[in-house]
Amino acid sequence: MSATAAATATATHTPLPVLGRDVLVPLVTGGEVDYAALDYAASAPALQRVWDDIAAYAPYYGSVHRGAGYLSQLSTDLFENSRKEVAAFLGCRPDDQVVFTRATTDSLNLLAAALPQGTRVFVFETEHHASLLPWQQRDGIEVGYLSAPRSPRQAVETLERALAAWRADDQEADTGAGAALVCVTGASNVTGELWPVRELAEVAHAHGARIVLDAAQLAPHHPVDIAALDVDWVAFSGHKLYAPFGAGVLAGRADWLRAARPYLAGGGASRKVALSVREGVGEVEVEWHTTEARHEAGSPNVIGAYAIASACKALTEAGFESLVARERRLIAKVREGLAEVDEVRVLSLFGDDAPRVGVISFVVEGWNSSHFAAALSAEYGIGVRDGLFCAHPLVRTLLGGEPGEAGECGAPETAPGERSLNAIRVSFGAGTPDEHVERFVGAVKELVRDGAKWSYRTEDGRCVPDRG
């Protein structure tokens, strides 16, 4: 075996170093165990490499963009080079802009604010709330919600019909061709299933619409190439890409962003500001930037941007081919283990054979999902998530409830053992050791077979160990 092949083989079987890998947590039954973080879909642990890069920069922290001092100039270079690193990671086109935001939710709200008046937005009901909700906040924007497809092909066909009907309505009304935007996830935050992004982009563009990709769950697991996927924008969060909280990205076409009012008004977004007084009344005249700075008012999150760039570089250097291969092995291990438990039902839109990332949601017959998740944590040191995962319509559809039924992001207030319309989600990625996945599978089997060792109660809407 060559040195390169040996290195690839080693990388395939070795998790990337992340913070918290050696943290010990107490068990309600006594003793401690190293924490098994299996909630990557909510927030992935920061890569050690990212944390080290941040620590190395910290002593040189300075103001950005207009300072004459050395540290200010260094920080400005770091910030702008981070933008270039992210652009390379995403395969951005020469004219694309990379805007640093707070997270995916912030990115999509920014894009919603930049839509031309009268834009029609098309979004599947299966989306995370971050990509489901921002559009209806804008006056003068129409939103068309598309029903949950049961296959990638059906997703493409559903969008095709919706866009054809929209275009026909425009022609019938003789109102001219208005703007349209399609919003779609790259990988579901509930089922982990990959969506046919390239095919959806082709349909969108064939009808004169644009498309934005919510890559929050895709980018940490698979390469995302804007040009190859032919999407107009990509949004994602740093805290799901092995960077700390507080920074995100909106990258893509510049025209709507340049034409829109600044997302926030303030310093940094403006090039020139003048105050003129006419008849005793003052008026501020502003010339706004047309670069990314237009939507980055205020002092930017330099460390957040640098952290994202560091994570992008680390994942690229690790090689997505080996990362994907290792993750597929972990996915198979979890799915095969859950399949051995008759009481477990894994949630899926597209079926068992659909390609997916390391995000798997399920329910257990006879268990309230909050109770099951609490037992995994308290008795086994395993952190998963339970609830509706900020994708209420999708989870309710998969569980047989009404998509429009009201719910909360956390678990419903039900006693342990009672049925409620919520699920359990296990999620993992490049930093997950094999042992954590194996412990999870073993814990599921043991809990279903033997029941919980401890009693639990509901407190503030959560199921917690009863220590009274």
Asked whether the predicted pLDDT for residue 124 surpasses 80, the reply is yes
Express each pLDDT in 361-381 by its tens digit: 999 999 999 999 999 999 999
Query: Is residue 92 among the annotated active site residues?
Result: no
Asked whether the predicted pLDDT for residue 122 surpasses 70, the reply is yes
pLDDT of residue 8: 40
**Of 58-67, 212-221, 414-423, which has the strongest mean pLDDT?**
212-221
CA distance 113 to 213: 16
User: Among candidates 131, 87, 133, 362, which has minimal Cα distance to 226?
Assistant: 87
* CA 208-212-218 angle, 5° bins: 140
Going by pLDDT thresholds of 50, 70 and 90, the confidence category of residue 409 is very low
DSSP symbol at 193: B
pLDDT of residue 467: 85
pLDDT of residue 177: 61
How many CB atoms neighbour CB 267 within 10 A? Answer: 11
pLDDT of residue 407: 45
On whether the CB atoms of residues 99 and 110 are closer than 8 A, the answer is yes
Asked whether the predicted pLDDT for residue 129 surpasses 90, the reply is yes
One-letter amino acid identity for 193? E
Residue with tokens 């500001």: 273
Q: Annotated catalytic residue: which of 92, 183, 312, 390?
A: 390
pLDDT of residue 67: 86
pLDDT of residue 419: 46
Q: What is the mean pLDDT of the chain?
A: 92
Least confident of 143-152, 192-201, 276-285, 431-440: 276-285
pLDDT of residue 171: 66
pLDDT of residue 279: 74
Question: What distance, in Å, lies between the first and last C-alpha atoms of the chain?
Answer: 59
What would the mean pLDDT of 139-160 be, rounded to a whole number? 96
What would the mean pLDDT of 327-346 be, rounded to a whole number? 98
Least confident of 90-99, 141-150, 165-174, 352-361: 165-174
CA distance 76 to 302: 8
Least confident of 13-22, 27-36, 242-251, 274-283: 274-283
Least confident of 65-69, 88-92, 309-313: 65-69
On whether the CB atoms of residues 318 and 11 are closer than 8 A, the answer is yes
Phi/psi of residue 120, each to 5°? -105, 125
Asked whether the predicted pLDDT for residue 11 surpasses 50, the reply is no
Paired tokens of 23 = 């943290």
Asked whether the predicted pLDDT for residue 455 surpasses 70, the reply is yes
User: What sign for the dihedral angle of Cα 404, 405, 408, 410?
Assistant: negative
What would the mean pLDDT of 32-50 be, rounded to a whole number? 98
Task: Give 5's strand partners.
Answer: none
Share of the chain above pLDDT 90, in %: 83
User: Among candidates 120, 94, 45, which has minimal Cα distance to 251?
Assistant: 94
Asked whether the predicted pLDDT for residue 241 surpasses 50, the reply is yes
What would the mean pLDDT of 395-408 be, rounded to a whole number? 70
Asked whether the predicted pLDDT for residue 176 surpasses 80, the reply is no
On whether the CB atoms of residues 348 and 362 are closer than 8 A, the answer is no
